[in-house]
Copies of this chain bind each other. A is one copy, B any other.
Amino acid sequence: MQIQASTLKGTRDYHPEQVVRRRYIFDTIRGVFELYGFRPLETPAMEKLETLTGKYGDEGDRLIFKVLNNGDFLAKVPDEILQQRDYRAMIPWIARRALRYDLTVPFARYVVQHRHQLQFPFKRYQIQPVWRADRPQKGRYQEFYQCDADVVGPISAASEAELIEIYAEVFRQLQLDVRIRINNRKVLEGIAEIAQVQDRWQEMTIAIDKLDKIGTEGVRHELFSKGFTSQQIETIFDLLLTEDIYILAEKLKVSAIGSQGVEELLALLPYFDEQRLPPNAVFDFTLARGLNYYTGFIVEVVPTEVQLGSIGGGGRYDDLTGVFGLPNLPGVGISFGAERIYDALETLDRFPSHLQWDISVLLLSMDAVSLQHAFHLARQLRRHHIPVDIYPQVAKFKKQMKYANQRKVPYVLIIGEDERIQKRYTLKNMATGEQQSLALDELIDFFNTHS
């Protein structure tokens, strides 16, 4: 039977040139993480279904990919479940395994499982794919990478300042202009308190989180429709849009929680040069962040040269591992949106140009003996760390050149009888057509200075 060769909808192959570009992003992030003492962790793709269930809400539970038990998975399914075709009830009977939905829950599971071997503060980063059964659409995939760094255990404002610095450093290296927005959930709680909506501050936060998408008027409208009074809404916006943190501190004085939030933000400053945030970082009290497990410091990164939404975010949480029986372990973490960073770099043409070449030169040979000669030449070049390839058959020159063109190699080296005898080879620049005749040691020099 012949089978149609195709990927599943919602999944994709990464072609070589894409793997190379993605690796550039991941290596940059990884390098900075390690410079800051974060250590790599990898967890299995499959976790126990019960480890993941109930952590992401009902919608999340539905979007978790479950893996069918092997062998006779129907053997123990109760009759009534089969009769009633109750697929929800059947899941735990036929699937013990599920695919990782994010990196946070596996990290929490890891910390609890191995807590006696770990030293706290424990700093880990993790760059791995996750799977979600979202309806596939342009730019949304069922398999994609997450890229997280967290520190758990004894932490302080220093840990948060470090994460801000990591964002600044990664995007400096990637040559991507960004704005790093910083806030504190306690500031939002204080604002709610002063507007006398403290019991509804989560609702307020969810509305504020939409500011980027629906604008000030949209948020006012949403709050109003939820029954917030005009007076409350005015108070909220007056506080939110305060630009100076010291003025906000004055306004929040009457709120204990709000004052603590401001204090936690100000506590970041002594860690930076001249007691100021990095030039591309700002306090922005309208920043809310969606996830409701954040309890203090929150941060988000947006590119300034393209409209793409956030390309990074994170914050402080107080109870990562309680659900696994280890309560009150605080932490703070950030993540990078690698897929969007890829899009931003591509749109802005910021990938380093050398990434386009996989080899420095392709060796072409005119006859069987030249092919053998090419092989020995290639060995010498490779010993000098110059990546080269050889057209592996004797073939018409035209065919070999066509291959070189299509594969987009920067140079070809032509080896025929004359070249073999004189031990000087014709190097052709594929972009300019320029040719020169070089001996082996000249070739080594040439490529060591041209790459």
Contact = CB atoms under 8 A, between A and B. Distances in A.
A120 to B, nearest CB: 8
A128 to B, nearest CB: 10
Contacts of A50: 3
Nearest to A271: B375
A388 B37 contact: yes
A379 interface: yes
A35 B381 CA distance: 9
Contacts of A14: 41-43
Interface stretch (A105-113, A185-193, A197-205, A219-227): A105-113
Interface in A372-428: 372, 375-376, 379, 382, 385-395, 403, 406-407
A113 B382 contact: no
A389 B6 CA distance: 47
A40 to B, nearest CB: 4
B155 A392 contact: yes
Contacts of A358: 34, 37, 39
A15 B41 contact: yes
Contacts of A395: 154
Contact of A372 (B129, B271, B375): B271
A406 B117 CA distance: 9
A120 B399 CA distance: 11
Interface residues of A, number: 116
A112 B5 contact: yes
B67 A68 contact: yes
Nearest to A361: B37
A168 to B, nearest CB: 11
Interface string A79-112: 0001001110011001111010000000011101
Interface centre among A6, A158, A382 (most CB of B within 10 A): A158
Contact of A39 (B16, B110, B158): B16
Interface in A157-193: 158-159, 161-162, 165, 169
Interface centre among A5, A109, A142, A387 (most CB of B within 10 A): A5
Contacts of A432: none
A66 B63 contact: no
B85 A5 contact: no
Contact of A85 (B45, B74, B91): B74
B42 A68 contact: no
Contact of A70 (B62, B70, B155, B165): B62
A47 interface: yes
Contacts of A41: 13-16, 19
A389 to B, nearest CB: 3
A124 interface: yes
A71 B87 CA distance: 8
A389 B20 contact: no
Nearest to A389: B37
A45 B51 CA distance: 21
Given A110-B13, A392-B158, A129 B5 contact: no
A390 B5 contact: no
Contacts of A90: 74
A44 B121 contact: no
B389 A324 contact: no
B372 A270 contact: yes
Contacts of A273: 376, 379
Given A13-B114, A41-B19, A382-B35, A67 B99 contact: yes
A8 B131 contact: no
A121 B133 CA distance: 36
User: Lowest 7 A-B CB distances belong to which pairs?
Assistant: A37-B389, A11-B44, A16-B39, A5-B112, A70-B133, A19-B40, A14-B42
27 contacts: A7-B113, A8-B96, A14-B42, A14-B43, A16-B40, A34-B358, A35-B387, A36-B389, A37-B359, A37-B388, A46-B131, A46-B142, A63-B70, A65-B97, A66-B68, A67-B99, A68-B94, A70-B133, A73-B87, A74-B87, A119-B407, A121-B403, A155-B392, A156-B371, A158-B390, A169-B382, A273-B379
Given A8-B96, A44-B143, 12 more contacts: A5-B110, A7-B109, A8-B47, A16-B39, A23-B40, A37-B362, A45-B131, A82-B82, A155-B393, A156-B371, A156-B394, A165-B379
